[in-house]
Structure 1
Amino acid sequence: MQFTAKVTDISKQRTACAILAVDAKNKLTDSGNAIDKASNGALSKLLKRGDLGSATASTLLIPMLEGSVERVLLVRASKNSVNQAEFRKLASASAKAVTGFKEATSYLTELSVIEADTDWQAQQLTLNAGLASYKFTRCLSDAKPNPLEKFTVHVADKKLLNTAQKGVELGNAQALGSNIARELGNLPGNICTPSYLASEAKALAKKHAKLTTTVLDNKKMESMGMGAFMSVAKGSDEPAALIAMNYKGGKTGDKPIVLVGKGITFDTGGISLKPGMAMDEMKFDMCGAASVFGVMHALVEMQAPVNVVCIVAAAENMPSGRASKPGDIVTSMAGKTIEILNTDAEGRLVLCDALTYAGKFKPSVVIDVATLTGACVIALGNHATGLYANQDKLAQDLLAAGETTGDRAWQMPLWDEYHTALKSNFADLQNIGGREAGSVTAACFLSQFATEYNWAHLDIAGSAWNSGAAKGATGRPVPLLLQYILNKK
């Protein structure tokens, strides 16, 4: 899809659909007034008649019989100066409403957004248009993708054009990465296996000279002492893979940012078998891995001047005669012994060895991303990602990136008191800490394998996918991670 920032005159701009804001008092912005005047007050008449709903982000599509604008989409704003949350809502609603057209131009930049400039508006409009254009079609016999091919962001002043274009480029990258993550997350477990993820990583490296990919197989991981990882992998007929994509776009010698994604391509729970209801959604248990794939795709397409390593810990968690049993004790790559009390707490077992492996890259920071705990869903719902960090500055930077993009997180505690729940009578630690504060104790478990570097953990169990009628991967937290990485360049 093509995204462009452009200074336009709506009376001359040819577009299949012009997106225009209307405030609560039916006041149009400048371009809306121009269209209204050219159409002999047609927009004003429709607004007075009450055809546009009163709720914020209500939309009304109006065909235009004359002029260069074929259609107008009116979007209800509360006023001409809105906050960032409302602008995101307007951007999302308008983008979804125009996906049926090949092309559209948004004039929502004529609204004033509190504590935000034109490049932020351009980024949000582009991101939402890119997200709205995604449609999963791979496994449908007769489905067609959404037709939207071109999206233009109107800029009122030529002086703002360069910064607006940068916003468009960032929003495009965030949408691209998010949609890659959504596609991988939405694929069924019989297609998106650990081997499939490994082949995708190798294919990406072949396209980009600054990217190399290394894949460790079961035998190699066993030889390196990854007993925790292999305790999960051994229950499946599908071979596991530890995938490392190393992008060297920054200065030689600069320490990389390392992202680690949980890639359980299907999670039955193992011997601690999950209930059957909604188990199909356990194909989404690799959305952490999908998100780091999405980030890497975006970085290489942008040719971003940064050094980033993306590690994917990919395996299936299956019940079999080879699978781990509750009470088994394994030894991690770090040398710590772990009593497995629940085989459905497998994500932390693959991640702990991946976090130890991450240290070989001498990282500036390590951020792991995982659909780790149902407890995080209970705590935060699906609106916020759970954030844990062993350094407050890192936590604040990630929170700020989430606020900028609207891909928000909420910081949770890593206090020493919670670590006591992981004490075992038979090993160095156990892999679960009881029902209380389950997301916190899971993060505490991981933190014990991330003591040598600055580290953060993003629990995306609530934010990575939607259930119900809108079932599907969301692509989060790709926008947050990209914003954080690019803020550091």
Structure 2
Amino acid sequence: MQFSILKNNTNFTSNMICILEIFDKINEPKSLQYITQINKNDILNFIKNKKISSHLGSCILVQNFTHPQNAILTVGCGKSKNINIDKYQKIIQAIIKYIKLIKYEKIILFLSSLNISNLNIYWKIRQTIEIIQTELYTLNNFKKHTKIPKIYLNEVLFYIPYRNEIKQAQLAIQHGQSIALGVKIAKDLSNTPPNICDPYYLSHQSYKLQDTNSKKILIEIIDQQEMQKIGMHAYLSVSQGSKKAPYIAVIKYHGSNKPNENPIVLIGKGLTFDSGGISLKPSRKMDEMKYDMCGAGAVLGTMHAVLKLNLNLNIIGILACCENMPDAFACRPGDIVQTLSGKTVEILNTDAEGRLVLCDVLSYVKKFNPQLVIDIATLTGACVVALGHHYTGLMSNCDKLCQKILDASKITYDLVWRLPLHKKFAYQLKSKFADISNVNGNDGGAITAGCFLQEFAEEYRWAHLDIAGTAWTSGKNNSATGRPVALLTQFLIDHMNQKFDEDLNAK
């Protein structure tokens, strides 16, 4: 899909369709002022003679012009003063769903007509690109016969009437396309069945980053023998019931103009299938446990976006890949394992396996002397109970880091909600026989999981994103969402811009 900027008044060309906003009690769409007079008269005459609905998301195709191969699509936008982020998204979604059904190759969007308080053209273009790519997303790799309707749309033009907005618009296209690429990679991986996307497959997908011949990328794969050697026994306890060996992919991106700058570390939980182990999950919706690797998928997608954006940062992405299965060699409730940190963990529930994987990785990344660490994991069903499927759970030992993540959430509308980490929750993890237990019962499950991880992240600034409720949609048409690739990439963009501002102030 190509995204372009249009600067001059619009004259229709072959296979082009203009999108006109229709607001309640406004007779003439504002965007008509940007259309050449000959086409404008035709449109006005049609609007006067026909009943065009302003109902939110309603679309009507108009084809009665001098050149019938061209058209306009009117889209209902409700009341002009009531446009908010949710309504904006519904308007763009309605447009694309309609365009998929008709044979037009180009559309022109007049986004300046859709005013949202405190949100500029950069935000609108970014959101529009991400919505379009989401609406057009399909994965049909595993079907022998499938009727895929042809989508003719191949170019979206954004009309920018004001010169001072052009640079913002160009930047928005660059950022939006890079993030959309990362989201697609994360979704494709997460939607791949677990008999194909096993720990080896997932970890070795990181090598595709080197296909760009970029000298900024270095890949290292840690195998089972190396994990055993360095003492990652908590991690290994999760995979010991599976025939699939565990792997860790370490992706090093050297993008900073200061080679010795401490890296930002992103850790993605990559359980390519989670049966629960001996603490076996119910069979209902167990097929969706292929999505337990969405954290790793999001980290890999983010690294692709980072590389495409050429960010001036040093970043390490880690894919912690393994499979949790029951068999004679599987770990048992009551087992005690020693973590890489030296602390011991009593495993009371083998289905609380993600934290056993992450705790060893959190200890491992200390060797990189990170400036901050963010782990991303489909960690707890308790987080879904607490926040549903709209908000990702956020926990951290650093208020400033939390605020930066929340700021990125506001820009991307990839919603995040902070949960408390208090020592009273940590008390619930006390064990009679080990330093700590991996579960506490049913009370505050998302928070106690965060408290468990915090035990292994005390030496650096750290945040935990529990994406159990936001990583995929459930049901018959279940699919990965690609969250939180947009959030993470925006966080990194903001971090880079802040670093640039600090460097300027220091001079």
Coarse TM-score class (shorter-chain normalised): over 0.9
- In 2 relative to 1, CA 61–439 (structure 1 residues): closer, same or farther, beyond 3 Å? farther
Is the partner of 2:414 in helix, strand or coil? coil
Secondary structure of 2:482's counterpart equals: coil
Q: Which residue of 2 aligns with 1:407?
A: 414
Q: Distance in 1 between matches of 2:382 and 2:71?
A: 47
- Counterpart CA distance in 1 for 2:373 and 2:68 is 51
* Aligned match for 2:112, one of 109, 112, 115: 109
What is the aligned partner in structure 2 of residue 41 from structure 1? 45
Farther-moved stretch of structure 1 (379-388 vs 82-91): 82-91
For the Cα contact (< 8 Å) 2:21–2:31, is it kept in 1? Answer: no
Structure 1 residues 320 and 83: alpha-carbon distance in aligned structure 2, compared to 1, 3 A threshold: same
Contact 1:10 1:31 in 2 (8 A): no
Aligned match of 1:72: 72
Deviation at 1:32, TM superposition (A): 3.9
The residue aligned with 2:57 is 57
The letter for the 2-side match of 1:346 is: E
Which of residues 198, 206, 210 is equivalent to 1:201? Answer: 206
Q: 1:13 to 1:450 in 2, by over 3 A?
A: farther
SS in 1 for 2:269: strand
Q: 1:182 to 1:427 in 2, by over 3 A?
A: same
Q: Secondary structure at the match of 2:385?
A: helix
Q: Distance in 2 between matches of 1:64 and 1:463?
A: 44
Work out the percentage of aligned pairs sharing the same amino acid.
39
Measured after TM superposition, the shift of residue 161 of structure 1 is 1.2
Structure 1 residues 39 and 86: CA distance shift in structure 2, 3 A: closer
How far the C-alpha of 1:292 sits from its partner, in A, is: 0.5
Deviation digits for residues 19-39 of structure 1 (CA, Å, limit 9, x no counterpart): 222112254433346555223
Residues 305-353 of structure 1 show CA distances to partners (whole Å, capped at 9, x for unaligned) of 2211110110011111111111111011111100111111111111111
Q: 2:388 aligns with which of 381, 400, 403?
A: 381
8 Å Cα contact 2:60-2:73 kept in structure 1:
yes
Q: What residue identity is the alignment partner of 1:167? A: A
Residue number among 276, 282, 291 corresponding to 2:283 in the alignment: 276
Q: Which residue is equivalent to 1:122?
A: 125
Q: How many residues were matched structurally?
A: 485
Find out whether 1:253 has 2:260 as its counterpart. Answer: yes
Structure 2 CA distance for partners of 1:238 and 1:36, relative to 1, 3 Å: same
1:5·1:122 contact (CA, 8 Å) conserved in 2? no
Query: Alignment RMSD, CA only?
Result: 1.9
User: How far is 1:303 from its partner?
Assistant: 1.7
Structure 2: distance between partners of 1:469 and 1:73: 32
- Deviation track 1:135-171 (CA, whole Å, cap 9, x = no partner) reads 1121122444744322222211233211111011111
Residue identity in the other structure for 2:135: A
1:44 CA displacement:
3.9
Long gaps (5+) in structure 2: 497-507
Query: C-alpha separation between the residues in 1 aligned to 2:331 and 2:151?
Result: 45
Kindly state the Cα deviation for residue 238 of structure 1 after the two structures are TM-superposed.
0.8
* Counterpart mapping for 1:8-407 below 5 A: 8-12=8-12, 16-32=16-32, 34=35, 37-39=41-43, 41-46=45-50, 49=51, 52=53, 54=55, 56-67=56-67, 70-81=70-81, 82-100=83-101, 101-143=104-146, 144=148, 146-207=151-212, 208-251=214-257, 252-407=259-414
Do residues 452 (structure 1) and 459 (structure 2) align? yes
Spell out, residue by residue over 1:389-437, the C-alpha distance to the aligned partner (whole angstroms, 9 max, x if none): 1111111110111111111101111011100111011111111111011
The answer (yes or no) to whether the contact 1:264–1:314 under 8 Å persists in 2 is yes
Identify unmatched segments of 5+ residues in structure 1.
none
Paired with 1:45 and 1:465, the residues of 2 have a C-alpha distance of 45
Instruction: Check 1:408–1:140 CA distance in 2 against 1; reply closer, same or farther (3 A cut).
Output: same
- Provide the C-alpha distance between the structure 2 equivalents of 1:269 and 1:53, rounded to a whole number of angstroms: 50
Does the residue aligned with 2:336 lie in a helix, a strand or coil? strand
Contact 1:59 1:76 in 2 (8 A): yes
Shift of the 411–137 alpha-carbon distance from structure 1 to 2, 3 Å rule, reads same
Structure 1 residue 130, shift from structure 2 partner: 1.9
Partner Cα separation in structure 2 for residue 43 and residue 69 of structure 1: 19
SS at match of 2:428: helix
Q: Which amino acid aligns with 2:322?
A: A
| Structure 2 CA distance for aligned equivalents of residues 202 and 58 of structure 1 | 45
Deviates more, 1:79-88 or 1:227-236: 79-88
> Distance in 1 between the 2:337 and 2:464 partners?
23
Distance of 1:127 and 1:203 partners within structure 2: 23
